[in-house]
């Protein structure tokens, strides 16, 4: 909105970001815009108000990695993206570390990253922790890199400046380097008196000016979470998103005690590659897992509502398995929803029949994972296209599990399908599925 003074709140935010989130003052912003500090009051109420607007702008502009990556690759790409954002906004690292509430405007972006990690195979709790570790590591490594690159006036040669890394290197060499050792210059502040070679890794390196100090730490984090949750390596490399890792969800692979109803909605299951394999994997589990091929049962679309409702009542977990068609579902599934989830039974004040049951959608998607998400051809994420299912789950009171996605289904290899089927079987045997939260 244009204001009398000829500048907008957006202009004020831009000016503050140009000055730097940790160093702008209302006076500096006003001067940059060529207006008085009092004029600024028409668009922002305080410095904190302006800072929130700055952080919201940075958050809205943030580009996340594409979906469909393994959680390991997602974390790597995410840390790179975050580093770029920090480079683009001097002082942001400092603000995020030192200001208690500064992370709050980034929550929706963090949640999207969390979802991508879960879709990439990490257990939900681990994904939160992995994000936390990664963000702290990137922030501190970046802040350190900035300090190393910053030039300061030399205390040795007045009038000349030197970079932080040069001062640090000189100081390190004076204390621990060979020449200083020969001159007997080791001071009382020396860390310890062991062999000098064991300190060499601590000698400043030029790579610390960029991501050199961050990358190895990130690999340690990834390694830690891999062993913690025993996640299988190599997820996503074959075009198949691994979805919630069976191993990460539970170590318990004994026969499931969860009564599970798998409803497969595929118009042509005999020609199917992915859904046929997933259906077969589910069938092979036997026990209390029932698989029904709905297009075979209802070739004329004449759904027997009483039979369907009885089947649902007997299940603790309902799985809707289908290929994505036109960013939605095959028509029989839509009709099944319309016919079976009746008022007073599935929703409405007395419609509590399905309350508390788990609902898992298992969807195969022809497009590559990278086609979904803000940078992909479809712009929206798969989770966003699945919102009607998630919303339906909310209305009927079921617990909406993290969807089991098989992406790149048109070009997926037979080996990848076989792995996907194994993962599906393991997910179906998991005692309790991770849930996708409401804005996930
Ligand atoms: C009518 C139709 C519509 C489709 N729409 C989409 C779509 O919107 N997005 C997508 O990624 N794939 C789409 N596909 C590809 C299917 O999702 C893909 O062929 C299927 O998941 C592969 O699973 P299957 O091997 O079990 O058949 C569509 C396919 C058909 C036949």
DSSP 163: E
Q: What atom of ligand 1 comes closest to residue 409's alpha carbon?
A: 22
What spacing in Å lies between the alpha carbon of 163 and ligand 1's midpoint? Answer: 56
Ramachandran angles phi, psi of 362, nearest 5°: -115, 105
Of 357, 340, 350, residue with least CA distance to 302: 340
- pLDDT of 198 reads 65
Q: Which atom of ligand 1 is nearest to the CA of 268?
A: 27
DSSP-assigned letters across all residues of 190-201? -S--S-GGGGGG
Interval 387-399: pLDDT, tens: 999 999 999 999 9
Q: Probe ligand 1: pick from 323, 332, 410, max atoms within 8 Å of CB?
A: 323
pLDDT of residue 124: 84
Q: Which residues line ligand 1 (CB under 6 A)?
A: 266, 272-275, 323-327, 364-367, 409-410
Task: Please give the distance, rounded to the nearest whole angstrom, from the Cα atom of residue 367 to the centre of ligand 1.
Answer: 8
Q: Which residues of the chain have pLDDT under 50?
A: 1-4, 179-194, 230-254
| Closest atom, ligand 1, to C-alpha of 271 | 27
Residues 6+ apart with CB under 8 A from 92: 21, 22, 58, 85, 86
**pLDDT for the residue 67:** 76
Predicted confidence at residue 231, as pLDDT, reads: 34
> What sections of 253-385 are H helices per DSSP?
274-285, 294-297, 305-313, 331-340, 382-385
Predicted confidence at residue 66, as pLDDT, reads 84
Which 8-state DSSP code applies to residue 132? H
Mapped onto helix, strand or coil, the DSSP state of residue 45 is coil
What residues contact 307, with CB distance under 8 A and at least 6 apart?
none
Q: What is the pLDDT of residue 196?
A: 55
322 C-alpha to center of ligand 1: Å? 9
Nearest in space to 329 (alpha carbons), one of 275, 398, 249: 275
Residue from 365, 407, 413, 424 whose mutation best tests the ligand 1 pocket (most atoms within 8 A of CB): 365
Instruction: Compute the distance from residue 71 Cα to the ligand 1 centre, in Å.
Output: 25
CA 333–ligand 1 middle distance (angstroms): 14
The two three-digit tokens of residue 321, written as one number: 């398995």
Cross-strand bridge partners of residue 289: 260
Which pLDDT score, from 0 to 100, does residue 297 have?
93
**Of all atoms in ligand 1, which is nearest to the CA of residue 323?**
21
Task: Characterize the bridge pairing of strands 151-153 and 404-406.
Answer: unpaired
pLDDT digits (tens, 9 = 90+) for 55-92: 999 998 988 888 777 888 899 999 999 999 999 999 99
Residues 6 or more apart whose CB falls under 8 angstroms from that of 193 comprise none
Distance 233 CA to ligand 1 centre (A): 27
Would you state the structure tokens that stand for residue 341, as one six-digit string? 């989830």
Q: Which residue's CA is the nearest one to ligand 1's atom 12?
A: 366
Instruction: Please tell me the distance between residue 323's alpha carbon and the centre of ligand 1 in angstroms.
Output: 6
The distance in angstroms from the start CA to the end CA of the chain is 32
CA of 114 to the centre of ligand 1 (A): 26
């Amino acid at each position: 909105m244009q204001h009398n003074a000829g500048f907008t709140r957006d202009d004020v935010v831009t000016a503050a970001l140009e000055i730097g989130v940790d160093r702008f003052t209302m006076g500096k912003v006003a001067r940059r815009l060529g207006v008085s500090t009092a004029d600024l009051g028409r668009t922002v109420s305080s410095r904190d108000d302006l800072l929130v607007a700055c952080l919201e702008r940075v958050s809205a502009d943030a580009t996340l990695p594409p979906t469909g990556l393994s959680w390991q690759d997602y974390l790597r790409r995410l840390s790179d993206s975050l580093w770029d954002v920090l480079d683009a906004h001097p002082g942001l690292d400092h603000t995020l570390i030192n200001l208690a509430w500064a992370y709050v405007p980034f929550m929706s972006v963090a949640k999207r990253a969390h979802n991508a990690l879960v879709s990439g195979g990490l257990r939900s709790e681990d994904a939160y922790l992995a994000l936390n570790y990664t963000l702290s590591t990137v922030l501190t490594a970046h802040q350190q890199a900035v300090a190393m690159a910053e030039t300061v006036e030399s205390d040795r040669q007045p009038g000349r400046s030197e970079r932080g890394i040069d001062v640090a290197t000189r100081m390190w060499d004076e204390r621990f380097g060979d020449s200083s050792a020969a001159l007997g210059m080791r001071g009382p502040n020396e860390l310890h008196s062991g062999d000098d070679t064991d300190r060499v890794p601590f000698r400043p390196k030029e790579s610390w000016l960029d991501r050199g100090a961050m990358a190895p730490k990130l690999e340690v984090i990834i390694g830690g979470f891999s062993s913690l949750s025993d996640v299988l390596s190599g997820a996503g490399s074959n075009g198949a998103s691994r979805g919630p890792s069976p191993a990460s969800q539970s170590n318990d692979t004994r026969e499931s005690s969860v009564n599970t109803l798998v409803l497969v909605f595929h118009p042509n299951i005999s020609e199917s590659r992915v859904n046929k394999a997933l259906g077969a994997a589910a069938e092979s589990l036997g026990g209390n897992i029932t698989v029904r091929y709905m297009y075979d049962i209802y070739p004329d679309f004449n759904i027997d509502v009483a039979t369907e409702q009885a089947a649902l009542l007997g299940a603790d977990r309902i799985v809707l398995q289908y290929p994505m068609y036109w960013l939605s579902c095959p028509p029989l599934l839509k009709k099944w929803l319309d016919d079976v989830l009746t008022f007073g039974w599935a929703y409405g004040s007395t419609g509590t029949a399905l309350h508390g049951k788990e609902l898992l959608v298992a969807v195969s998607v022809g497009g590559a994972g990278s086609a979904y998400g803000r940078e992909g051809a479809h712009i929206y994420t798969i989770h966003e296209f699945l919102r009607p299912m998630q919303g339906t789950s909310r209305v009927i009171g079921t617990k909406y599990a993290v969807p089991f996605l098989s992406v790149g289904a048109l070009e997926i290899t037979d080996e990848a399908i076989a792995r996907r089927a194994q993962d599906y079987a393991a997910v179906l045997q998991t005692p309790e599925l991770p849930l996708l939260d409401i804005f996930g």
